[in-house]
Structure 1
């Protein structure tokens, strides 16, 4: 198999951007005719997608440290300063949850049972506590709760709100359908049960209060929650839904009222909860990004991937869904891990929330973050930190990524990651094109800071990776 990326030709942003780079390939044997455009080129056929992201995690922003806020209640994310909790960039990747500025782990722990009707398992509170401890040790910082009957009780999460742990985590919860006064009472009860004096994010669960284009009832609930925010008991507000249409209307008309959304995102829409195509959900998440609203994805495991074999079979028999996750399966991922990796490969998604009840499930799900066992990967490849200089033209405005060995007619996508594992932008490679440009900006148009960035090309089953260092 030929390597998929033979060189990178660089230009620099606004006369002040210097780029160093090295390209690698996981596509197998290097093509003897690989060209180098004004640059030395070093190919490594052993670096897989998973290894690539893990290397990114290990080389995270060690100097950034952790911002421990404790019980200090911050009711606005408009300071522009990212808020880190339980920050372990060597083993977990983080993304900014929209205007909240909370840097949340790409894997979030949900409270749903994740088994489906008729497939319950014996409850094991001690096992769940073990799972929470493992998740904390692994850098997970977003924990989603709810008072609904399908979720674990809020008492089970009180461990996260002890003085030893509260400043390590972001707690989200939900209010169920009811009047504004009832919703306020639900939050007050959750605060008491959890043993905390504030909740970081409160969602309207299931987008209740929305009838057609009438959002007045939901806005009345937001008004009640805003009162709690003013009192310092709630920091940010959100809405969850299995309806892309409801979330679209919310974002188009009330983006100033909402800080985050939680929406359906599964490789398979061929089941009872999904009535809108995947492209529609992708459009919702892209719209949220334009509004600087955080995005949490749910249901990528179809509510029962850990234990319900029927769900796995349904996924394998859904041709379009199987095409989406098979590349991850081929890399050795379990079905659950493949679905998680597929979800967080969408850079419009800040975190993927997964219900888990046991230590074994937590371990499996952590394997889907592409950020586990990083130190082992680096020990296996001690030379990965080297940089190869190549500065063909240091005074032009954009960087051009030249993909000389891409098969004719192939399409693909290039992802650019920070060294903490956050995907900062992506570029599509259209059929017949072998070049894409990067202007040194992230997906919101802001110039990136000086430092090293990782570049990854995915084209069908072929993957190539590289490194770019920006100096300003």
Structure 2
């Protein structure tokens, strides 16, 4: 498993990060707690040392699953969680952090992230100075070790950094979806900010397991994913067909190819969810994938046929 430095800190994070959105159950179907606990443990055994979650994932359920799954392993793991967009007032940030510490069963959070910018989804607009001030105080107290942001554009990231150090950005980013990083990737590289890419497999599309006519169950958030709709989905299927020979000659799966392309980029890690132990082990193998520059360039070109065709906005029709 490759490892990378988290921003300008001394914290090492695994190139493949275990994602806890599914463990929260909300917006997903068919998620089993026991299978999630086994998946967390399997990921650790396979070399994944970094685990990402959020208070928003099932109102703390994902955090509690992580705490239960890896109890007794605190010194081996790096924990990332997030404060919700409706908890960005100073007092709310502090309350949320204390709640997350209890959920996780730990005395410190390695990276505490603002999940969405203030004002998202109709939430109150809170000055970034107030939110960052609370985070800096928590850091001074040793309750968090580093500060990150998620779903911020460049101007929002710059505003946060004017108040205090920001060591990571967590955007929606994959071979097929790059709209969220078009104005931030070069800025992050220039300023030593680690990019923690979520939905790096485009919610499973890049595994190649979804064909024409697939219908997601009611309650599955992928119903609203623009990549699975209309002409974009047709382009994605064609791109997957073009990627298969590259995966074959490298002896890897489509998923490993997509993740390998992502983590080959300087300062970029991939946050990948898993429904069960087998998926967690398979995802972890991507941390050892190495691709030559010519293949990386070809993969990039093929992926842009999908990503560049999308208009600005989220990956979902929310």
Q: TM-score range by the shorter chain?
A: 0.7 to 0.9
Contact kept, 8 Å, 2:38 with 2:69, in 1: the verdict is no
Q: How does 1:375-414 map to 2 (within 5 A)?
A: none
**What is residue 339 of structure 1 aligned with on the other side?**
258
For 2:110, the equivalent position in structure 1 comes to 200
Corresponding residue SS for 1:268: coil
CA contact under 8 A between 1:161 and 1:194: conserved in structure 2? no
Q: Is it true that 1:361 corresponds to 2:279 in the alignment?
A: yes
User: Which of the two has greater strand per residue?
Assistant: 1
> Which residues in structure 2 correspond to 1:27-106 (within 5 Å)?
92-106=1-15
Question: Secondary structure at 1:265's aligned position in 2?
Answer: coil
5+ residue gaps, structure 2, are 215-226, 300-318
1:112 equivalent to 2:18? Answer no
TM normalised by structure 1 equals 0.51
The answer to whether structure 1 residue 297 and structure 2 residue 215 are counterparts is no
Counterpart position of 1:130: 38
CA distance in 2, matches of 1:323, 1:223: 49
> Shift of residue 98 of structure 1?
1.5
Match for residue 238 of structure 1 among 148, 171, 178: 148
Q: How many residues align?
A: 271
- SS of residue paired to 1:206: coil
Higher RCO, Cα 8 Å, sep 6+ = 1
The structure whose residues are more often helix, as a share, is 2
Partner of 1:379: none
Closer/same/farther in 2, CA of residues 101 and 325 from structure 1, 3 Å limit: farther
Gaps of 5+ in 1: 1-91, 372-420, 422-454, 463-472
SS at 1:369 equivalent: helix
**CA distance in 1 between partners of 2:25 and 2:258 (Å):** 17
Counterpart among 248, 253, 277 of residue 154 in structure 2: 248
Give the 3 Å change call, closer, same or farther, for CA 287–321 of structure 1 in structure 2: farther
Cα distance in 2 for partners of 1:370, 1:324 equals 23
Shift of 1:363: 2.1
Which residue pairs with 2:74 in the alignment?
A: 166
Mapped to 2, the partners of 1:324 and 1:217 lie a distance apart of 46
Give RMSD over aligned pairs. Answer: 3.4
Larger-Rg structure? 1
The CA deviation string for residues 386-425 of structure 1, in whole angstroms up to 9 with x for no partner, is xxxxxxxxxxxxxxxxxxxxxxxxxxxxxxxxxxx8xxxx
